[in-house]
Structure 1
Amino acid sequence: MSTPNHNAISHWFIATHCVADRISYCLSRNRRNEGTMPEDSVIQGHIEKLRRCELITEQEVVDLCAKAKEILMKEENIREVRTPVTICGDIHGQFYDLKELFFIGGESPDTNYLFMGDYVDRGYYSIETFLLLLSLKVFYPDRVTLLRGNHESRQITQVYGFYDECMRKYGTPNIWKECVNVFDLLPIGALVDGRIFCVHGGLSPSITTLDEIRAIDRIQEVPLEGGFCDLLWSDPEEDTTGWRVSSRGCGYLFGGDVVSKFNADNNLNVVCRSHQLVMEGYKWMFNNQLIAVWSAPNYCYRCGNIASIMEVDEYLQSNFVTYDPAPQSERKVPSNDSPPDYFL
């Protein structure tokens, strides 16, 4: 009996599932173009308006959030994502830098995007940023993945800018309430081709397997402690072994030994996360067992860092594209706002 060529089988499988994904996407796009989904024209109008950094109406926000909740309710705590995919880190309301990200990485739906949370707070345009991403999620649900960050929280957004921005721009807390209700439904993590685990913050001493994450009741405000909290708040630290209490007041610091065991126990190649400013845009840690991706250039309009996106191909090979802030000439000047002073 001849021995099967596993490499050939693997390449055939990758090519087949990529072709299948593309056919499915094209059929979906054709149905949209044929006008069989009348509500799509409304969402498309939202996308066009939000791309110009223009607000949609309060009722339109309510309707958009309702559609988004229908989609997100059906997603698991850990969303399965196929390659190729472009993985993005924190955005923090830096709307024009998000537009720069799309310019660099490609527009939806041609690029399959996975965002790891922290869409709001600190930047001038948190509401426009989140609503644009949410509109893209509703319009292209299989081509946009939105994970929850520690800032997708009622408590945090009341302190770090998003609540105040909603009140300033809409004159009512209703928009904030609609958005935070959507936050509760965002997945906790994503699994790329079964090998790359994406999560906003990091790992938890109370969680050893992906199945334990799948069992979390995520539809709630982010707790102040416990496994759910840790996944959104924890940080890796190169000089740490095991676990240490974090100075953030939530989550833990964890070392390379923790990552090695988690990856081995869950058959993973790498943990991918954001949550911490990286001046170079991305950073490998622990012998390439963990990667941090940061997508907000010149964070808080003063940090001077570059940003990056992580492009993962069908063979799980990664390519990092770095970029600077959007040119000043392409930005709308905010009204009498000074750069935010908070930093978390």
Structure 2
Amino acid sequence: MKPMLLPKHLDDLIDTLLAWKFDKRINVPEVDIFKLLQIARGVLIEEPMLLEIEAPINVLGDIHGQYGDMLRYFDSAGHPPKASYLFLGDYVDRGKHSVETLTLLLAYKVKFPFSMFLLRGNHESASINQVYGFFDECKRRFTVRLWRCFVDTYNCMPVAAIIGNRIFCCHGGLSPLLHDFNDIRNLSRPCEIKTNGLLCDLLWADPDPAVVGWAKNSRGVSFTFGADIVIQFIARFNLDLVCRAHQVVEDGYEFFAKRQLITLFSAVNYCGEYDNAGAMMCVDELLNITLVVMKPKKREGEVKFTALVEKAPEKMKK
């Protein structure tokens, strides 16, 4: 028999998660999270690997366990189902509240499946979690078994989306192996992220203004790509924009390739070490975009912004 989380229990779980107070951990029974994850896996795997979504919709980049930031975006634009959302992945690791972050998103996905869309990021991976914090958070607060259940859920997530047939979205970037959108649709699930191939590139690749064509990525996996690749991709697939996440950018968003690619990063003051803003991209019915920016808190002294290049762990590269 399939596990069932009754509607009232799901509502209670969401209410508990929304009652969060700054920097406090929410005590949600582990058994309820287990049930939610099992149901969420079924919902996610029924979706195609390449989602086709209609506007209006709000798009967010990396959250990384900064739960308070995510709630601020919801408070700003409306909680589901009053507003619809597409998240580009990297819900966990680094921040203090990865469990709350991913649990609320999955609860919204189960309750409002057509108002909440969740793509997989490179941090939705067992090998990355064991280095960057989510494994330790689950082990400390709950059990390793619960973390494994989260990993099983990542392995069912879609990896790309198209909004209104014109805006292509993924976590990382483009791939030399992407010749046709059926290449994404035909990726099998559940799956782990390998160190090369189309799935890896969609989650790990980066644009680079110094590159023409494709080049080796300093992260140790996948590629970097130049503006020429973006322009060719846009023309070949009859698109207006590529929207991706994966990199900290000072203003929360950054354009590339003559404004044909945008990077979104939604965690503000990332890790408490960066003075970056966070951003949400709001797409209206006509596919016009508005950027909502969450400003960082000011710190004493002048701090120069330095971009973070996060490398794949050696364990993954082998």
Deviation at 1:258, TM superposition (A): 0.8
CA distance in 1, matches of 2:310, 2:208: 19
Q: Which amino acid aligns with 1:195?
A: R
Identity %: 41
Is 2:244 the counterpart of 1:273?
yes
Aligned to 2:9: 42
Q: Which amino acid aligns with 1:104?
A: S
2:29 to 53, 57, 70: 57
Aligned to 2:278: 307
Is 2:105 the counterpart of 1:138?
no
Segments of structure 2 that go 5 or more residues without pairing to the other structure are 21-25, 299-307, 312-318
The question of whether the paired residues in 1 share the 8 Å contact of 2:240 and 2:260 is answered with: yes
Segments of structure 1 that go 5 or more residues without pairing to the other structure are 1-36, 328-340
Aligned to 2:64: 92
- Cα deviation 1:113-141 (Å, max 9, x = unaligned): 00000000000011111101111111110
Deviation at 1:208, TM superposition (A): 2.2
In the TM superposition, structure 1's runs of 4+ consecutive aligned residues that sit over 4 Å from their partners are: 341-344
- Cα deviation 1:156-204 (Å, max 9, x = unaligned): 001100000001101x211101111000011011110111011000011
Deviation at 1:218, TM superposition (A): 3.7
Relative to the length of structure 2, the TM-score reads: 0.89
Deviation at 1:105, TM superposition (A): 2.2
Aligned to 1:262: 233
Structure with greater proportional helix content: 1
SS at match of 1:123: coil
Aligned to 2:76: 104
CA distance in 1, matches of 2:70, 2:222: 28
The question of whether the paired residues in 1 share the 8 Å contact of 2:269 and 2:297 is answered with: no
CA distance in 2, matches of 1:211, 1:38: 34
Q: Which amino acid aligns with 1:261?
A: Q
Q: Which amino acid aligns with 2:210?
A: D
- Cα deviation 1:240-269 (Å, max 9, x = unaligned): 110000010111100111111112221211
Aligned to 2:128: 156
SS at match of 1:292: strand
The question of whether the paired residues in 2 share the 8 Å contact of 1:109 and 1:143 is answered with: yes
Is 2:127 the counterpart of 1:127?
no
Is 2:65 the counterpart of 1:114?
no
CA distance in 1, matches of 2:45, 2:297: 34
C-alpha change, 1:326 and 1:177, in structure 2 (3 Å) is farther
Is 2:253 the counterpart of 1:282?
yes
Q: How many residues get paired?
A: 294
The correspondence of residues 239-254 of structure 1 with structure 2, limited to 5 A, is 239-254=210-225
After superposition, the CA RMSD in angstroms is: 1.8
The structure with the larger Rg is 1
Aligned to 2:301: none
SS at match of 1:159: helix
CA distance in 2, matches of 1:196, 1:84: 12
- Cα deviation 1:75-110 (Å, max 9, x = unaligned): 000111110000000000001111111122221111
